[in-house]
Amino acid sequence: MKKTTFFAVLTALLVLTACRSTPESVPQDLKPRDYFRLAQEAVVERRDYDTALLYYRTFLERYPDDIQRAIEAEYEIAFIRYKQNDPRAEQLFSELLARYEEAGAELLPGWPKVLAEKLLKEIAEEEGSSTAEE
């Protein structure tokens, strides 16, 4: 009986681990919106940031001319890095904001800019408070 329970638990753990692993590749036939849907599902349902990053990066590689969605993917990548307390987040938000200074910026959605500015301000405040504590 104990042996059966052990194997049941082991099987359940393997299934859960397999479900959470990042796919090795992204299917070629995805529509642009599918990359975002799958990335969001990975984050919301499983907190699987690696899979979400894979989908956003793959979208950027496969659709470099879709500037509106590209800026959204760039924001999401920077936001994931921010959620992970990754120091690269600040640079990624700054690079995203620089895109709003380039020709054609009027075509970009406004929400990534607004949110990136807000998060950069929060990062600066956090750095200021940690410097004051030292």
Q: Which amino acid is at 79?
A: F
CA distances (Å), origin 53, targets 21, 98, 99: 13, 21, 20
Q: Domain of 25: which CATH number? A: 1.25.40
Short-list 48, 39, 45, CA closest to 69: 39
> Which amino acid type is present at position 11?
T
pLDDT > 50? residue 125: yes
pLDDT class of 2 with cuts at 50, 70, 90 = low
Taking only the tens place, the pLDDT of each residue in 96-120 is 999 999 999 999 999 999 999 999 9
Q: Which of 15, 79, 86 is nearest to 53 (CA)?
A: 79
What's the average model confidence in pLDDT over 56-63?
A: 98
Count structural domains, the chain.
Answer: 1
Q: What is the pLDDT of residue 20?
A: 53
Q: Where are the beta strands (DSSP E) in 34-91?
A: none
Give the tens place of pLDDT for each residue, 20-48: 567 888 999 999 999 999 999 999 999 99
Computed over every residue of the chain, the mean pLDDT equals 87
Residues spanned by the domain of 125: 2-133
Residue 8 has pLDDT above 60, yes or no: no
pLDDT at 4: 54
Count each helix (H run) and each strand (E run) in the chain, helices first. 6, 0
